[in-house]
Amino acid sequence: MKTDHAFSSLGNERFMDRRDFMRLDKSGSGLVRRRGERRPVASGRILDISANGLNLLCEATLTASLGPGTPVEIVARLDESSEPFFLLGHVIWRRQQPPEQCQIGIELPPRADTAGTPVNDNRDWRALFLA
């Protein structure tokens, strides 16, 4: 389990991980689509998770339409779990990774059950961190 803020360099830039919650080194797979659309726009490997989000490594060409602020729906399946999580969130960052891959950070709001919002598992996702 990681609790410190992580720094990683990308070219001449330095990025600081500013999460408010601990990260868990859990892996799995994720399928992403823009909210309200039927067709997935990306799929990839979950690198780590937190109570409020996840870090996904995808093929760069698939994530071109997923810029910061894009509302998304995610079907996430952790390697240790047979049941998928249906999550709602938005992209908060996107970073190119060689060769031809991209990492995207997705933030999951704690309450995603307002009127007109699709059924989701955001609360169950957060419960992973309370056990």
* One pLDDT digit (tens) per residue for the chain, 131 residues: 333 333 344 443 444 455 455 666 778 999 999 998 989 999 999 998 988 999 999 988 878 889 999 999 999 999 988 889 999 999 999 998 888 899 999 999 876 556 667 788 988 888 877 76
Tell me how many domains the chain contains: 1
Distances from the Cα of 21 to the Cα of 17, 52, 56, 126, 130, angstroms: 11, 7, 17, 10, 11
Residue 87: alpha-carbon gap to chain centroid:
9
**Whole-angstrom Cα distance, residue 22 to residue 102?**
23
| Residue 79 placed within a domain | yes
Residue 4 contacts residue 21 (beta carbons within 8 Å): no
Q: Looking at residue 117, what is its pLDDT? A: 76
Tokens for 75? 């079907």
| Residue 89 placed within a domain | yes
Which of 106, 20, 24 has the alpha carbon at shortest distance from 63? 106
| Residue 1 placed within a domain | no
Q: Looking at residue 80, what is its pLDDT? A: 85
| Residue 68 placed within a domain | yes
CATH code of the domain covering residue 75: 2.40.10.220
pTM above 0.85, yes or no: no
29 is in which domain, residue-wise?
Answer: 7-127
| Residue 2 placed within a domain | no
